[in-house]
Amino acid sequence: MCESTIPTAYCSLCPRHCSVNRSYGEMGFCRSLDLPKVSLVSTHMWEEPPISGTNGSGTVFFANCNLRCVFCQNHDISDSGYGLEIPIERLAEIFLEQQAKGLNNLNLVSPTQYGIQVREALILAKNNGLTLPVVYNTNGYEFVDFLQSLEGLVDVYLPDFKYMSCDLAGEYSGASDYPEKVKLAILEMKRQQPKDVFVDGLLKKGIIVRHLVLPNHYKDSLQILDWIVENLGTEAYVSLLNQYTPMHKAKEIPALSRRLTTFEYQKVTTHFLDIGLKNGFIQKRSSATSDYTPIFDLTGVANCKNRCDEEENSI
C-alpha cells in the first residue's frame, strides 16, 4: 500500500484529509476557502469527440487543486489559485447559462476542492430546470465517500488516471497514495454509471478514463491499461493523451523536460490493442502544444451586477 507524503487528519472532501475549517478562513492543501472560486466559463471544443461534439462542451474551470502536478498546464489556476469567489447561487446560475447556450453538456473541470458547493449548486440548478448531462472532470484524487454523495447528480465521469507508481505520484504530484485512491474512485464512478450511453454520437451517461502519457515513463502507462482491462473490462472507454508539453516546473526536471517521442506513444497505443481494449481515443503528436490551454480571464464568471459594480468602482 502506498502511503501519503502529506500528514493527514479527517476531512470529508478528498484524500488529503486536511483538518481545517474553511468557513473560518483556514486553508488546507488546496488553499480553497468556503466559496467556490471560478476562473473561466467557456465553450470548449477540444475535449474527446463524444464530449465536445459539434456544439462544444460547457466548461466551468475551478481554481486551486488538491494535487501539485509539476507539469500542470493549468498551473495559473491550479497552483496560483487565480479566480473569482462566487456564491453558490451564482454558480447555479452559471450552470443554467451554459445550458442556454445550446452546449452538449455541463463540464465541471477540477471541481473536487469545492465538492460540497458544487453539489448544492447542481441541486439548485436542477430544481430550476437544468437538464444538461453533467460531466465531472477530475484528476482522480477523490474520496469515495464524497463521490457517493454525487450519485444521481453526475451523468458522465471524466477522471484522470495519472500514475500506477507510488513513487511517480509522490514525486510529480505530491500524493504517493494517488494510485490507491484513483483506483477506488474509478470503481465507484463505474458503479454509478455502469453503462456508456450514447445519443447521436454524444456521451450522455458513462465514464471515460483519461491518461496522459509522460516521457520516460511509458511502462507505467502499460500497467494502467492492464488495470483498466482487469477491472473495467475491454469495453471501457480510454483516452490516451499525447499532448504532454513541458510546462510549469517540469522544464527543470530532466525526465520531464522534453515532449513524448513517437516510439513511447506507439508502445502505449500498441499495448492498448494487444490487451483487447476496444474503445478509445488517441491524439496526434501535433496536440503537444500550449496552444490548447485556455486563457483564464474570468470570462462568464461575474453576473451583470458584479460587472456593473466593478466598472463603477474602477471609474
Over residues 86-133, the pLDDT tens digits come to 999 999 999 999 999 999 999 999 999 999 999 999 999 999 999 999
C-alpha cell at 262: 513517437
DSSP bridge pairs for 206: 156
Q: What is the pLDDT, as a whole number, of residue 303?
A: 80
Q: What is the pLDDT, as a whole number, of residue 9?
A: 36
Confidence of residue 227 (pLDDT cuts 50, 70, 90): very high
- All structural domains of the chain, each given as residue ranges with its CATH number in brackets, are 22-314 (3.20.20.70)
311 against 298, higher pLDDT:
298
Q: In this predicted model, what pLDDT tens digit does every residue of 2-60 receive, in sequence order?
A: 654 433 334 479 999 898 888 888 899 999 999 999 999 999 999 999 999 999 999 99
Under a CB-based contact definition with an 8 Å cutoff, are residues 256 and 213 in contact? no
Q: What is the pLDDT, as a whole number, of residue 152?
A: 98
Beta strands in 177-307 (DSSP E): 197-199, 202-212, 237-241, 279-282
> Which sign does the torsion angle of CA 91, 96, 100, 105 carry?
positive
Q: In this predicted model, what pLDDT tens digit does every residue of 241-251 receive, in sequence order?
A: 999 999 999 99
Q: What is the pLDDT, as a whole number, of residue 314?
A: 33
pLDDT at 223 over 90: yes
The DSSP-derived string for 165-206 is: -HHHHHHHHS-TTHHHHHHHHHHHHHHH--S-EEETTEEEEE
Under a CB-based contact definition with an 8 Å cutoff, are residues 232 and 209 in contact? yes
C-alpha cell at 201: 454520437
Q: How far is CA 128 from the centre of its chain?
A: 26
Q: What is the pLDDT, as a whole number, of residue 24?
A: 86
Measured between alpha carbons, how far is 11 from 153 in angstroms, rounded to an integer? 22
Instruction: Convert 58-89 into a string of H (helix), E (strand) and C (coil).
Output: EEEEECCCCCCCCCCCCHHHHCCCCCEECCHH
